[in-house]
Amino acid sequence: MELLQILERYAPFNEQEARDRAVLMGLLRTGQDLWTRENEAAHLTASAWVVNGDRERVLMAHHNIYDSWSWLGGHADGERDLLAVAMREVREESGLARVAPVSEALFSLEILTVDGHEKRGRYVPSHLHLNLTYLLEADEHELLAVKPDENSAVAWFGREEAVEASSEPWFRARVYSKLNAKLARL
């Protein structure tokens, strides 16, 4: 299914999702390339809220650029299957071999601001991540491994502890708390 169709069928959880969905759909309708980082103003990303089997714990990584505990995810880089992107990024960033979707349906969406920063010796200008989030499940006893070029630690947290571990106020209030609220409704 095309991303525009997925977004048209998606029922927003709150005003943030409704407004971000409208902006994202408008951008998709312009026909500009949102699938690669060639678009330096805005591009698609996929993230994952990774939970354990009883859905009481969440996997987080300590992100090098943001110096904060955060969810896992990354750039589409041309891939049109954003669930596959989220799963690939979780494997790469955590070392997990087995991760599975709780559902293949979109779990959440957000437009995220990214401040300009250095990455691999090159300046990346401030831009937007047009982010789709998926709910994934993994075994909390499986061995974890850091991805040194992206994170310095990977760990499981209780759901509320995951929110509190982040040093980014907007993410705590608008993203991670929302994901936990949605999770509690399942």
53-93 pLDDT, tens digit each: 999 999 999 999 889 999 999 999 999 999 999 999 999 99
Q: How many domains does the chain have?
A: 1
The pLDDT of 172-184, averaged and rounded, is 97
Q: Give the pLDDT score at 38.
A: 95
Write down the pLDDT at residue 1: 76
* Residue 120: per-residue pLDDT: 84
Average pLDDT over residues 101-111: 98
Taking only the tens place, the pLDDT of each residue in 20-55 is: 999 999 999 999 999 999 999 999 999 999 999 999
Record the tokens describing residue 115, joined without a space. Answer: 């401040």
* Per-residue confidence band for 153, with pLDDT thresholds at 50, 70 and 90: very high
Give the CA distances from residue 173 to residues 8, 106, 181, in Å, rounded to whole numbers and listed in that order: 26, 20, 11
Domain extent at residue 157: 3-184
**At 48, which CATH number?**
3.90.79.10
User: Cα–Cα distance between 93 and 73 in angstroms, integer?
Assistant: 8
Indicate the pTM of the whole model. Answer: 0.96
Q: How far apart, in whole angstroms, are the C-alpha atoms of residue 142 and residue 138?
A: 8
Mean pLDDT over residues 141-148, rounded?
97
Give the pLDDT confidence score for residue 177 in this predicted structure: 98
pLDDT at residue 6 tops 90: yes
Residue type for position 180: N
User: What does residue 160 show for φ and ψ, rounded to 5 degrees?
Assistant: -70, -35
Tokens of 120: 């691999």
Q: Where does the pLDDT of residue 118 fall: very low under 50, low under 70, confident under 90, or very high at 90 and above? A: confident
